[in-house]
Structure 1
Amino acid sequence: MSDYINSYYAFNAETGQPYPSLQQDLDADVCVMGGGFTGLSSALHLAKAGFKVVLLEANRIGYGATGRNGGQIVNSYSRDVDHIATKYGKEAGDAMASMMFEGGDIIRTLIREHQIDCDYVQGGAFVALNDKQLRTLKEHQQLWERHGNGKMALLEGKALEKIVHSDRYVGGLTDGMSGHIQPLKLALGEARVVSELGGQVFERSPVVRVEKGEKVRVYTSDGSVTAKFLVVGANAYLSHVLPELSKRNMPCGTQIITTEVLGEQKCRELLPANYCVEDCNYLLDYYRTTGDHRLLYGGGVVYGARDPADIERLIRPKMEATFPSLKGVKVEFAWTGNFLLTLSRLPEFGRLDKNIYYMQGYSGHGVTSTHLAGKVVAEAVAGQAGRFDVFAKLPHLPLLGGRALQIPFTALGAAYYNLRDKLGI
C-alpha cells in the first residue's frame, strides 16, 4: 500500500486525506472491489439506483491506470464494431455499436451534474502519418457516422494545421464527441459523488480473501464486507485473490512525460484547437496540453508491465519529432501505468458465480469503456442483464502458454506491425 506515484496528475490534483481503511465488519447490498474508473462507475451507478454500496480500494482512489492514463476520451473499443460484427456476428456488432459512444456521454453527464472539476475539454483528433492511414481514417469516419456520430471532419494536408501544428502528418480526423480530462481529478470527484449518494468508500484496504456463497464475504486484513453481490473491477492490479481472472490477459505498461509549464500561447501554437491527439500507428503516440499549459505526451507499450529504466529517454524523441520546437525543453514528470490487454483486444465481462460480476481488460480504451461497464453492471445487479450479457457472450480467449510465453510473442508481433507502420504498408 502506498500513496500516489510521482506523476503530473498526483502533483496537479488535490488528493486530500485518504478515506478510512476498513476496520470493521459491514453488511451491504453490493461490495465493489477496486477504486479505479470501473469500480467508481459501478459504485456510483449502483448507489444512484438505491443499493447500499461499499467500495474497497487497496491503495488510493485512482492509484492504478485510472490515475495514470493519457486522459483522452476516445470512443468505441480497442477493436471497432465492424471487426466485432465480422468476427462474432451482426447481432453482437449491432449491440456493441449501440453503446460505443455511451461511455463518453456518461463522463460528460457526471461532470455536468455533479460539478466535477477535472479540466474537461471537448474535441479530439486521430492523425495519419501516411496515405494508407489516411484512407483508414476515411473508412473510420464512414463507420462511426453510420452509427450516429455526426461530429467528425476529415482534414487533409495543410487543413490539419488548425488542429496540430506538425509536419509529420498527411491528414487527420476530428471527433467532436471526444475530449480530454485530468483523470485523477475525475476519479476523486466520482469518489466524492459515491459518498454523497450514501456509498461507503475505503482506501488502503486490500482484499485478502473472497468467500463465495449465497452471500459473498470479502475480507481485508482488518475487516470484512458481507454482501448480496460482489463487483470486481481491479483490472491489471488484481492480486491472486481471484486467480481465475488473470489467466486470459496480460498487464502492459504505457509511458507518459509532461513538460514544464509552456504557457498558453506556446500550447496553442502546438495544438491550436486544444484537442487531444493520437496517431494511427500500431504502437501509437498520444498527446494533449494540460489545464496549466504543459504538453503531456505518451506512447509505446511495455509488455508484461515492467517499468522502463528511463521513460524520458523513450518518449522524448517521439515528442521532439512531432514538435521540433520543444527540443531540449525540460520534462518535469515521467511515469508508467499498467493497463490490461486481452488476446481479442475486447473487454472481458462475466460472472464467477451468480452473484460475482467482473469487468476488465479494456486493452487501451479504458477511460470510456470503464464508465460504460459500471452502468451496465448496475443494470445487471438490478435484474436487467441484457446489455451486460452482450459483453459477457464475447469469447474470452486464453493466453496460449500463459503470460510467460505470450509476452515475447506479443512483443514480436508488435515489432512487426511497428515496422509496417514505418514503411507505410
Structure 2
Amino acid sequence: MSPGSYPASWYAASTPPLPVQPTLEGRIEADVCILGAGYTGLSAALELAEAGYRVVVLEAERIGWGASGRNGGQAIAGFSCGETKLEALVGFDDAKKMFDLSLEGLRWLRGRIDRHGIDCDWRDGHATVPIKPRQQREVEHAVEDFNTRYRHPVQWWDRERLRSELASDRYLGAMYDPVSGHLHPLAYALGLGRAALEAGVRIFEGSRVTRLVRGARPVLKTAAGEVVCDSVVLAGNALLRGIAPELESRMMPVGTYIAATPPLGEERARALIRNDMAVADTNWALDYFRLGRDHRLLFGGRASYSTLPPPNLRGVMTRRMHRVFPQLRDVGIEYLWGGMIDISLNRAPHWGRLAPNLYFAQGFSGHGLIAAGLAGTTLAQAIRGQSERLDLFAKIDHRPFPGGRALRTPLLVAAMAWYKLRDALW
C-alpha cells in the first residue's frame, strides 16, 4: 500500500514534505520497533538510534500525518489535566516532579530544533485567558501556585495589561508564561523525521500495523511484511486500532478543528497579537489562537466528541473567531482542517508498559506538543534501562471509559454537554 497525501491544511501547504519512505515488505529484524511516526515515536526513535540501537518505525500514512502534523501548535508546560488534578492522583511531590519533567521536555524540544536545524517558526510566550469571574479567580490562584509551590515564574496580567498585547475585549486578564510558546507543528514533525532518518532509523510509510504478536521477541505485522524485535513502542495514540484493547479502552478519540484566515498583512496581524504569543481561554470547549509565519490568524475552537464533524463547521468557526476579534468581520476562513486527539478519562498522561518489552504512551488530551516528545524520550530511556521516569508516570491510575465500545461515546457527549453548559452559565 502506498502512503497517501497529507490532509489539506495550511500546515501542509506551507512546508515541503520529506521524500516518501518505502512500504514494509517481507520480514526484517530490529532492536526496537515503533508503531507511529508522530512526536512520540520519532522522539523515541531518535534517542535510541543515537544510542546505537537498530530502530524501525512503522507508519500507516506519512511522517507527522496524525495529530503531530495538524495540532494547534501551542507548546505549553505541564499536562492537560492540570496540576491540581495531578496532585490528587499522585500527591504534590510526584506532581511537582512531573511538572519539572515537562519543563525538561520543553528544553529538549528547543534543543532538538537548534541541534538539527529544524525550521519550524518557534515563538516565545503563551497566555491563558479567563472569560468569567470564576475563571479569573481560578487563573489568579494558578499564578500564585506556579510561582510559590512549583517555582515556575508566570505573570498575572490584568485586563489593561493584556489589552496592551491582545486586541480583544473578551478576556478579564491573563496568566502569561514566557517559557511556553508556539511553532509550526508539521514542520517540527518533519524535522524530527529527517533527524531520525539521518541517525539511521528505518521509517516505513504506508505500513499500517495489523497485528501485534506478543512474546520474548514480539512481532509487528503489516499487510506485506513483519518486524521481529526485542522491544516494541506503541505510539499510535488516537489512531491505535485493534492492536492493544487494554489501551484502547482507556483512550477516547476526539475530533478537533483549526481554521486559518488569508494573510492579513504584517501590520494588521501584529495589531491583533502585538507580542506574537499564543493564546488559549479556560473554557472546557475552548478557543485558542496564534499568528502564522505569513501573518494569518490560526484559530482553533471546536471539538467533536461523537467522532462526527460538527454541522456547519466553517460557519461556527467563523463566528467564534469574530466573537474574539470583531475587527475581523470582513475576514473569512481560507483553510479549515481537523484531526483526532486521544484523551484519557482523567486527562492525565497514560504511559507505561504492557509487558517488560512492550511500551506505550497515550492520553495527551490535547496538550501533547511538549508531552509527546517527553514521552518518547522517557520510553527510550526505559528501554535503555533507566526506568525511573517511566515508573513515575506509571503511578497514575487510569480506568477504562464507562459504557464499553457501545456506550462510551454517547456518555462522553452527554458529559461534554454539561461542561459546555457550565461554561455558558457561570
Give TM class, smaller chain: over 0.9
Q: Kindly indicate whether residue 152 of structure 2 is the aligned counterpart of residue 149 of structure 1.
A: yes
Which of 256, 265, 285 is the matching residue for 1:254? 256
Deviation of 1:119 (Å): 1.1
2:36–2:58: 8 Å Cα contact kept in structure 1? Answer: yes
Could you state the TM-score of these two structures normalised by the residue count of structure 2?
A: 0.96
1:420 aligned residue: 422
Q: Distance in 1 between matches of 2:248 and 2:85?
A: 25
1:311–1:335: 8 Å Cα contact kept in structure 2? Answer: no
Q: Kindly indicate whether residue 24 of structure 2 is the aligned counterpart of residue 22 of structure 1.
A: yes
Q: Deviations over 1:306-340 (max 9, x none)?
A: 22343212211110000111113131111111001
- More off after superposition, 169-178 vs 83-92: 83-92
Q: Distance in 1 between matches of 2:68 and 2:184?
A: 10
Q: CA RMSD in A?
A: 1.5
- More off after superposition, 176-185 vs 127-136: 127-136
Deviation of 1:249 (Å): 1.7
Q: Distance in 2 between matches of 1:117 and 1:16?
A: 13
Q: Deviations over 1:345-371 (max 9, x none)?
A: 112112222101010111111111101
Matched residue of 2:270: which SS? helix
1:103 aligned residue: 105
Q: 1:202 to 1:417 in 2, by over 3 A?
A: same
Which of 323, 326, 329 is the matching residue for 1:327? 329
Deviation of 1:29 (Å): 0.9
Deviation of 1:91 (Å): 4.2
Letter in 1 for 2:151: G
Q: Distance in 2 between matches of 1:408 and 1:102?
A: 38
Alignment of 1:301-320 (within 5 A): 301-320=303-322
1:256–1:311: 8 Å Cα contact kept in structure 2? Answer: no
Alignment of 1:117-136 (within 5 A): 117-136=119-138
Aligned length: 423
2:233 aligned residue: 231
Matched residue of 1:148: which SS? coil
Matched residue of 2:334: which SS? strand
1:250–1:304: 8 Å Cα contact kept in structure 2? Answer: no
Letter in 2 for 1:14: P
Deviation of 1:19 (Å): 1.3
Alignment of 1:9-408 (within 5 A): 9-145=11-147, 146-150=149-153, 152-408=154-410
TM superposition outliers: structure 1 runs of 4+ over 6 Å: none
Could you state the TM-score of these two structures normalised by the residue count of structure 1?
A: 0.96
Deviation of 1:95 (Å): 3.0
1:84–1:93: 8 Å Cα contact kept in structure 2? Answer: yes
Matched residue of 1:418: which SS? helix
Q: Distance in 2 between matches of 1:418 and 1:309?
A: 17
Matched residue of 1:214: which SS? coil
Letter in 1 for 2:275: A
Matched residue of 2:288: which SS? strand
Q: Deviations over 1:91-126 (max 9, x none)?
A: 432332331322222211111111100111111111
5+ residue gaps in structure 2? none
1:46–1:53: 8 Å Cα contact kept in structure 2? Answer: yes
Q: Deviations over 1:228-279 (max 9, x none)?
A: 1000100000121323321112100111110111111111011111101000
Q: Distance in 1 between matches of 2:220 and 2:407?
A: 33
Letter in 2 for 1:32: I
